[in-house]
Structure 1
Amino acid sequence: MSTSARVPQRLSHLPFRGSRAVSGGLLTWTMLRGPTWVRLLPDVYVHRDGLRADDHRMWCDAVALRLPPGAALAGRSAAWLLGVDLLARGDRVTVLLPTGARLRPHPRLSIVRSPLPGADRRWFAGLPVTTPLRTAFDLGRQGARAEALVAVDALLRRQVVKLPALRAYAADRPGWPGSRLLREVLALAEPLSESPMETRLRLLLLDAGLGPLTAQHEVRGGGRFLARVDLAWPALRIAVEYDGDQHRERARFRRDVARLNALRSAGWIVLRFTADDVLRRPEATVALVRQAIAERRTPAPPR
């Protein structure tokens, strides 16, 4: 009989508690120590064919089996489960432990200790997760300012939370750690921002004193729709666009050319930037935008 034929169906793909499998007569400790099973965490195993080392969901499933009562998956892990991917490759599973709860540290875990009322915790996709509001509240007051804003913008964009509700939730918790950062993030938050890099570009321009500016502005000419631009100063007819890798596709490139020509014909200045411009050449990026604004604000000489 082959090894795969001896694998209980309920244990063939998902992580499981080894002690429960043994007490239920499905496996023995000797079998668990063999090559068929991979130990993920203390007393948590997965079949070797179900091992996906970079699969965050697999690690969330494994970690959830070890959570003490009242704990929850939180932060970027909760956002990912809610459909908002803020993860970097190899990110650890974030766990929120309420006061008094204990969990053994592990390289795959990022443990945060904080009060966790029952109202801030729910079951989602079979796992205990912080609620959308608590997830946004936590991400908006942690880490670097730009990353906190990227996280909140992404949650707003996917309509996981609404900005008025998040502001009200934060106002009810004024003394929590990171509240000052969160207030700043909520003042800058933009539900219309369509990507993390667009958020970073917008923040770069605002920090340079080039605001206010409009996100996802619709440009019309001759009574018809011409384009929607990422960021704009409508009164000056200046648009700033973030170009990701998708703009290199041939069909997309052709549409972009036609769209750019239509905007130019309507009298718009369009400045396009890449990730390198935002992350590695921020001063040059700001200088180009500042120059365009200055040119538009300078009266044309009389003819």
Structure 2
Amino acid sequence: MTARFHVPIPPGPFRVAEGLRAGLTPDRLRGDELHRPHHGVRTATPVEDDVGFCRAFVPRLRRDQALTGPSAAHVYGLPLPARLHGLDTVHVAVADPATPPRARTVRGTRIRPDLWRVVRVSGMPLTSPFTTWITLARWLDVDELTEAADALVTRSTNYPGLVGRRPYVGFEALRRRVAGLRGLTAVALLREAALRARPGVESPLETRLRRRLVAAGFPEPEVGGAVAAADGRTLHGDLVYRDERVILEYEGDVHRERTRFRRDITRGRRLRGGGWHVIRVTIDDLGGPAFAELCRDLAKLVPRGPAE
């Protein structure tokens, strides 16, 4: 074993050329000790998630390139459907008229100069949150885009997965900027999603519940509405039908944490004591027979019109 073999592995993902400059031998770079998430890139540990897959591509990015689309959305923590997780493609953007990259694991795209702004998150260059959301219209339907838009405009510190400052985009700014878009193929889809977006949402499944209730014929509930509890204090319901005094509370797995669980029990008791009918909803209630049952129960309390 030569002294050269003891050259330490560079931290994080690195290009093969960088490894050679650091003193790693070609045999070591080709060996089983290192992992190969992308052509020409090595890592000391395997890539285990979507963000890690994107991070591993950063050494290959040119200075005029940035991650965009689903890749940037993963880094921002925006909600994406399951079909856009665990992919083997990195989405890379350049400002028009530059030439986007082409490779087996790369999908390149051009971004209009008026929409081109690059920010760095966790050391990775990304298209801005607004531009990233626009590019998602190639992969998402209107309800999925609405979930992502709700995440863009939320100020909630409880919203899962988001990194960095909140909101990514102000609610009114989102609508104003979308209304001003011209010349994009999916502009009608983006405008519809912006109209459906609401501030104050605390999870993507809360958005999904709201949209499915509306699609089932119920009036749109108020998001995060302030309500009076039994002791006179002001609380905020997830989804509120104020006239009917009905609150739907979405209970994600985070609510099973001991302190949160106990607080939720007390909160529900105070709301019911204030004359509110509280319906607790979980992910199992968002589809199939369970959702139909939820709708039947809710219809006893809230007038229901024709489904969308």
TM-score category (smaller protein):
0.7 to 0.9
Matches within 5 A, 1:208-223: 208-221=216-229
Is 1:97 matched with 2:98? no
- Compute the RMSD of aligned alpha carbons: 2.9
Give SS of 1:146's match: helix
5+ residue gaps in structure 1?
296-303
Task: Name the SS for the 2:237 alignment partner.
Answer: strand
CA displacement 1:156-204 (0-9 Å, x = unmatched) = 1130111222223323323312212111111110121100110000101
Tell me, yes or no, if structure 1 residue 59 matches structure 2 residue 53. yes
Matching residue of 1:300: none
Q: 1:283 aligned to 2:292?
A: yes
Q: TM-score, normalised by structure 2?
A: 0.80
1:39-85 deviation digits (Å, cap 9, x = unpaired): 222211122xxx13214343223212223563321123323433546
Farther-moved stretch of structure 1 (112-121 vs 241-250): 112-121
Q: What secondary structure sits across from 1:177 in the alignment?
A: coil
- Partner SS state of residue 60, structure 2: coil
Q: 2:15 aligns with which of 14, 17, 25?
A: 17
Q: Distance in 1 between matches of 2:210 and 2:70?
A: 22
Structure 1 residues 118 and 214, CA gap change in structure 2 (3 angstroms): closer
Q: CA deviation at 1:244?
A: 1.4
Identical counterparts, % of pairs: 33
- Quick one: which of 63, 67, 72 aligns to 2:66? 72
Inter-CA distance 241–32: structure 2 relative to 1 (3 Å threshold): same
Q: How does 1:106-125 map to 2 (within 5 A)?
A: 106=105, 109=106, 111-117=107-113, 120-124=116-120, 125=122
Shift of the 95–221 alpha-carbon distance from structure 1 to 2, 3 Å rule, reads closer
The normalised TM-score by structure 1 is 0.81
Partner of 1:240, secondary structure, is strand
SS in 2 for 1:241: strand
Paired amino acid for 2:267: R
Indicate the SS of the match to 1:65: helix
Q: Where does residue 298 of structure 1 map in the other structure?
A: none
5 Å matches for 1:230-241? 230-241=238-249
Alpha-carbon shift at residue 129 of structure 1 (Å): 1.0
Instruction: Say if 2:78 and 2:152, in contact at 8 Å, map to a contact too.
Output: yes
Q: Distance in 2 between matches of 1:30 and 1:143?
A: 44
| Residues in 2 aligned to 1:116 and 1:92: alpha-carbon distance in whole angstroms | 26
Give the match for residue 129 of structure 1: 126
Deviations 1:277-302 (A, max 9, x none): 1133333322222221149xxxxxxx
Q: Return 277-286 or 235-244, whichever deviates more.
A: 277-286
Match of 1:188 in 2: 196
1:7 maps onto 2:7 in alignment: yes
Amino acid corresponding to residue 90 of structure 1 in structure 2: G
Distance 2:140 2:3 in 1: 47
Q: Tell me, what secondary structure is at the counterpart of 2:226?
A: strand
1:104 counterpart letter in structure 2: A
Rounded Cα–Cα distance in structure 2 between residues aligned with 1:121 and 1:26: 37
- Which residue matches 2:273? 265
What SS class does the counterpart of residue 38 from structure 1 fall into?
Answer: coil
Give the match's secondary structure for 1:39.
coil
Q: Which amino acid aligns with 1:148?
A: L
237, 247, 260: which one aligns with 2:255: 247
